[in-house]
Chains A and B, each alone.
Chain A
Amino acid sequence: MKELICIVCPRGCHLSVDDTAPEITVTGNACPRGAAYGKKEVTAPARVVTSTVRISGAAHRRLPVKTRGEIPKGMMAEAVKLLDEVTVEAPVKVGDVILPNILGTGIDFVASRTMDKT
C-alpha cells in the first residue's frame, strides 16, 4: 500500500494505492483522474515540464515553453538540458513547436505564449 497525494488538480486528494494485487486499486480519490494518476504514479510516473528558451527579436529575452503532454519523470532534467542549445526567432505563436519529439518520447516542447517581433 502506497500513500500518495494526487497532483492532478489543486484539491490534492490523499490517495491510497494498493499495488500488491495484480489489479492496482486506488482509494481516496474524488474523481476518476485521481485513480488514473494513482495507478500511473506507482507504475510509470510522468510530468508536464515547463522551462524557457532564448528568444531574439522580441520584447523579452526568454520564451516560456512546456511539454505538450507528460514525459517520464526520470527524463525531466535531460529534457530541460536540451533547451540550452535552442534559440528561437520572434515572432512566435502560442503552441508553436520549439523542440520536437523530446528524447524520442513523441512529445514536443511548445511555446506557451505568443511573442511578437519588435
Chain B
Amino acid sequence: MELTQICDLAVIGGGPAGMAAALEAYQSGVEKIVIIERDKELGGILNQCIHNGFGLHYFKEELTGPEYAQRFSDQIPGTTIQAMTDTMVLDISPDKTIHLVNTKNGYQQLKAKAIVLAMGCRERTRGAIGIPGERPSGVFTAGTAQRYLNMEGYLVGKRAVILGSGDIGLIMARRLSLEGAKVLACVELMPYSNGLNRNVVQCLNDFEIPLYLSHTITRITGTPRVESVTISKVDEKRNPIPGTEITFQCDTVLLSVGLIPENELSKTAGIALDPRTRGPVVFENMETSVEGIFACGNTVHVHDLVDFVTAESQRAGRYTAAYIQGQSPSPNAFLPVTAGSMVNYTVPQKIHLPASAPVEIFFRVAMPMKDKKIVVTASGTGEKLMEFKRLHLAPGEMEHITIPTSALEKVPDGIEIAIV
C-alpha cells in the first residue's frame, strides 16, 4: 500500500455527525470520500446510548441510539464512501494532509481536497472540577460507566452517587437502577438541572432518586474503593456551607459534569477556536478559519439532541461538496455574530456575504428564564432587526432562530443576539 492516499473528502469521526456529513456530500456529487473512525465500527457514542428518545425530529419516531446510528450506517455500503475503522488520526496539517495509523497498514497519509471535522466531544473528569478527598477507584465519568454497562456488560457498582444532572448522568441513574444498583442521590451544583426536564421525570422521579440542587460533593473517602461520599449545600457563590453535610455510604461515584468539544486535531491544523464553545469558530456554511476544513456536531458545540447534530452535519456536507466543486464564498466578506446579554455563545460566529440563504443561528442562554424575547440587533447602531417571543428558556435547551437574507443586507458591522 502506498504511504500517501488521495481523496476528495476526509471525514474525521464516524459518529452521527461524520456519517451525516459524508452521506450528504456523497448525495451532492462528491465521490471519493473516506470516513476515519477510531472504534471498530461506525456509530460513535450512539452505540452505547441504548435508551430511546432519539430521532423524534428527524425520523418523526422514537428510536434508541443504536437504531438511530444504524439508519445512517446502513446507507454507507450502497455508496462510494469508504469507512476506515480502527484507525486513529494523529495530526492534520493545514495543507489538509491527514496523518493516521492503524494495525493493518501502520502509518499512512491521506491527502484530501476538503476535510470535515466530526470528532464529537469528551467528558469533563474529576481532575477538571477538583473534588476534595481521597483518590479511590470507583469514580467514573457517566459516559465511561455507560460504555462499561451497555456495551462491555459490567455493572460498575452497587451503590452510587451521581454528581451533575446532565443528561448522561440522569440516563445512567435509570440504567443503574434498572440493573439492580441503588442510586442514592443525584447532586447538582446549580439551582436547576442541566438535563432535559423529561429525563429528570423518567430517570429520577420514576425511580424515586432524590435530586439535590445547589449541592456538591465535598469529600470522597475510601481505600482502595470508594466507601463514602459527603455532599454539602452551596451558597449563591457556589461555596459549600459548613454544617449542611450529608454522608452517603456508597461504592461508586459517577460524574456528569459537562462535555467539552474534542479539538486536539483542530489545533494541529491551526484552526481558530472559540473560547466559549471550545470548538472551532465557524461560518454559516460550517467552514472553519482554515479554508476547506469544515466542522460539525459536538466538535463545534455540544448539542442536546442528535437530530440537530444530523441537520447541522448535513449542512456541513452540502457546503463541503460545494467547496470541492469550486463554489465557495470568499472568506474575506463576512458579518460577525456576537452573543449579547444572557447569551453564552452563538454558532455560527460569522456569516459570509452576500448571504445566499436564510441563516440559522444556534445558541445557549446563561440561566433559566420565563416570558422573554430573543432580540436580534445591528451591531454598532443597536437597531432592532427582529424579535422572537419565548415562554421558557433554559441553558440545558439549545435555542435557535432563523434570520432571513433581507435582514442581513443592511447591517455592516454584524448582528448581536440578546435576551431581554
Complex Cα gap A48–B67 (Å): 15
Q: How large is the interface on B (under 10, 10 to 19, 20 to 34, 35 or more residues)?
A: 20 to 34
Complex Cα gap A9–B304 (Å): 12
Q: Hey, what's the 0/1 contact readout for A1-17 against B, CB within 8 Å counting as 1?
A: 00011111110101000
Contact status of A10 and B201, CB under 8 A, knowing A52-B50, A59-B40, A94-B70: no
Interface check B64, CB cutoff 8 A? yes
Interface check A117, CB cutoff 8 A? no
Contact B64 A9 (CB under 8 A): no
Contact status of A10 and B178, CB under 8 A, knowing A64-B64, A113-B70: no
Contact A62 B151 (CB under 8 A): yes
Residues of B within 8 A of A77 (CB): 178
**Distance (Å) between the CB of B399 and the closest chain A CB?**
12
A-binding segment of B11-19, B135-143, B192-200, B268-276: B192-200
- In A9-56, the 8 Å CB interface with B consists of 9-10, 12, 14, 47-52, 54
**Distance (Å) between the CB of B237 and the closest chain A CB?**
29
Contact B56 A10 (CB under 8 A): yes
Q: With a 10 A CB-CB cut-off, give which of A12, A14, A54, A61 has the most chain B CB atoms.
A: A12
Contact B70 A114 (CB under 8 A): yes
**Distance (Å) between the CB of B207 and the closest chain A CB?**
9
Contact A64 B150 (CB under 8 A): yes
Q: Hey, what's the 0/1 contact readout for A57-71 against B, CB within 8 Å counting as 1?
A: 001111010100000
Complex Cα gap A81–B64 (Å): 20
**Distance (Å) between the CB of B85 and the closest chain A CB?**
11
Residues of A within 8 A of B200 (CB): 5
Q: Hey, what's the 0/1 contact readout for A83-103 against B, CB within 8 Å counting as 1?
A: 000000000001000000000
Contact B152 A61 (CB under 8 A): yes
A66: nearest chain-B partner, CB-CB = B64
- In B344-378, the 8 Å CB interface with A consists of none
Contact A113 B152 (CB under 8 A): no
Residues of B within 8 A of A47 (CB): 202, 206
Residues of A within 8 A of B67 (CB): 94, 112-113
Interface check A107, CB cutoff 8 A? no
Contact A112 B53 (CB under 8 A): no
Contact B51 A50 (CB under 8 A): yes
Complex Cα gap A1–B247 (Å): 36
Complex Cα gap A76–B64 (Å): 17
Interface check B66, CB cutoff 8 A? yes
Complex Cα gap A92–B12 (Å): 29
Residues of A within 8 A of B47 (CB): 113
Contact B305 A7 (CB under 8 A): no
**Distance (Å) between the CB of B311 and the closest chain A CB?**
14
- In B64-95, the 8 Å CB interface with A consists of 64-67, 69-70
Complex Cα gap A59–B198 (Å): 33
**Distance (Å) between the CB of A30 and the closest chain B CB?**
10
Q: Hey, what's the 0/1 contact readout for B286-314 against A, CB within 8 Å counting as 1?
A: 00000000000000000011000000000
Residues of A within 8 A of B66 (CB): 64, 94, 112-113
Complex Cα gap A22–B285 (Å): 54
Indicate which residue in A10, A61, A80, A114 contacts B304 across the interface (CB closer than 8 Å).
Answer: A10
Indicate which residue in A7, A9, A49, A52 contacts B150 across the interface (CB closer than 8 Å).
Answer: A52
Contact status of A9 and B56, CB under 8 A, knowing A54-B153, A114-B70: yes
A76: nearest chain-B partner, CB-CB = B178
Interface check B62, CB cutoff 8 A? yes
Q: With a 10 A CB-CB cut-off, give which of A4, A10, A60, A62 has the most chain B CB atoms.
A: A10
Interface check B41, CB cutoff 8 A? yes
Contact status of A51 and B179, CB under 8 A, knowing A10-B56, A61-B152: yes
Contact B178 A51 (CB under 8 A): yes
Q: A5-B200, A8-B198, A52-B150 are in contact. List 18 more A-B contacts (CB 8 A).
A: A5-B198, A7-B202, A12-B198, A14-B197, A51-B179, A52-B149, A59-B40, A60-B151, A66-B64, A76-B206, A94-B67, A112-B64, A112-B67, A113-B47, A113-B64, A113-B66, A113-B70, A114-B70
Binding site for A on B (CB under 8 A): 40-41, 47, 50-53, 56, 62-67, 69-70, 149-153, 178-179, 196-198, 200-202, 206, 304-305, 392, 397
A-B CB proximity, top 6 nearest:
A12-B197, A113-B66, A64-B50, A7-B198, A112-B64, A62-B153
Query: What are 25 A-B pairs with beta-carbon distances under 8 A?
Result: A5-B197, A5-B198, A7-B202, A8-B198, A9-B56, A10-B56, A10-B304, A12-B198, A12-B201, A14-B392, A49-B178, A51-B178, A52-B50, A59-B40, A61-B152, A64-B66, A66-B50, A77-B178, A80-B179, A94-B67, A112-B64, A112-B66, A113-B67, A113-B70, A114-B70
